[in-house]
Amino acid sequence: MLSPCPGCGALFPPCDGATHRYIGASAGCWALFNWSVVGGGIDVTNLIAQSRIPDDLAPIPEPGDALPLDSLWGDAYGVQHHGGSSPQAIQSVALHLLNLHGIISGQTTRPRWPIERALRIHGVFHKLNPPAIGRALTYRHLFPGGGVVTPVTHSQYAVSVYEAWMTLHRSVVEQWYERYVVSE
Ligand SMILES: [Zn+2]
């Protein structure tokens, strides 16, 4: 019995692993992401074999060029798994989206610099409504099988999530970046 991850819509079997306090990922999706971050430890072979991507899919973006996008997949995962309306969830989505924006739009080449800048200020961000499930690639798209013919790259995943959110919130994100990242 597969159930969709509330953040990305990828379908995972039941999993008793932990979930994050405010990142809104199902236990299966979170286990796969964590395995990618820390490596080793758990065996995700069965998890990958038994899971699949959502049926209603967005077009896959072209890969980014020379931008250092490979560092951004964790940010994309955090934005996509936006969680509830707690202050921590709202802050987390905003910071990760600002980091994606700064680097993908070419305004900075320093990873995490937008996050460090925006961390100076508290309580200014508001909840951004997420794009519909299926409007962006999922983290499950990096692995073959389960509907994935050609696994995507970390960069493609990051750009896809970024574009889906920017389509809805470009002006707000640009304003936040100006006010809370760039300005002194
Ligand atoms: Zn997910």
Per-residue pLDDT of the chain (184 residues; tens, 9 = 90+): 899 999 999 999 998 888 888 899 999 999 999 888 877 667 788 999 999 999 877 776 665 555 567 689 999 999 999 998 999 999 999 999 999 999 999 999 888 999 999 999 888 999 999 999 999 999 999 999 999 998 988 888 999 999 999 999 999 999 999 999 998 7
What is the CB-side half-sphere exposure of residue 37 using CA atoms within 13 A? 13
Alpha carbon of 140 to ligand 1 centroid (Å): 8
Q: How far apart are CA 112 and CA 174, in angstroms?
A: 17
Alpha carbon of 183 to ligand 1 centroid (Å): 34
95 contacts 118 by C-beta, under 8 angstroms? yes
Alpha carbon of 29 to ligand 1 centroid (Å): 5
Question: What pTM did the predictor assign?
Answer: 0.91
Alpha carbon of 41 to ligand 1 centroid (Å): 20
Alpha carbon of 179 to ligand 1 centroid (Å): 31
CA distances from 64 to 34, 72, 102, 108, 174 (A): 24, 12, 14, 15, 20
128 contacts 93 by C-beta, under 8 angstroms? yes
